[in-house]
Amino acid sequence: MADIRFSYELLQELIDTFGDVKTVFEGYGTSTAGTVDSDDPVAHHHADVVKGQEGQLMAATVASLGNARDGTLAVFDDFKSADLAGDGK
């Protein structure tokens, strides 16, 4: 069986990166869509739709980054457990 070398440092870097980027996107929590300088109700409607969709996109991005971080952390923990169960190299 082949000997597998694994880098915990790389996984930790990925975990930290996903966490840091998630934090940045959480900071964007409010919509960045501008306001409408018009009395046109259609323009206001479309601006509200854009803001709503932007909010959904931000929430989905934060959730995805959280899932990526959690999944990477689970892999890290699984490999660590396997190392402890094996010869610990």
Give a yes or no: residue 18 inside a domain: no
Alpha helices in the chain (DSSP H): 8-27, 41-85
When pLDDT is averaged across residues 36-58 and rounded to a whole number, the result is 83
Residue 27 has pLDDT above 90, yes or no: no
SS3 per residue for 43-65: HHHHHHHHHHHHHHHHHHHHHHH
Give a yes or no: residue 19 inside a domain: no
Give a yes or no: residue 6 inside a domain: no
Give a yes or no: residue 61 inside a domain: yes
| 25 Cβ contact partners less than 8 Å away, ≥ 6 residues apart | 58, 61, 62, 65
69 pLDDT tier (thresholds 50, 70, 90): very high
Residue 34 has pLDDT above 80, yes or no: no
Residue 89 has pLDDT above 80, yes or no: no
When pLDDT is averaged across residues 5-29 and rounded to a whole number, the result is 89
The two three-digit tokens of residue 15, written as one number: 């975990």
Q: What share of the chain is helix, strand, coil (3-state, %, to 5)?
A: 75, 0, 25
Q: What is the tally of structural domains in the chain?
A: 1
Domain encompassing residue 68: 48-89
Give a yes or no: residue 36 inside a domain: no
Give a yes or no: residue 3 inside a domain: no
Give a yes or no: residue 10 inside a domain: no
Q: Give the global pTM.
A: 0.73
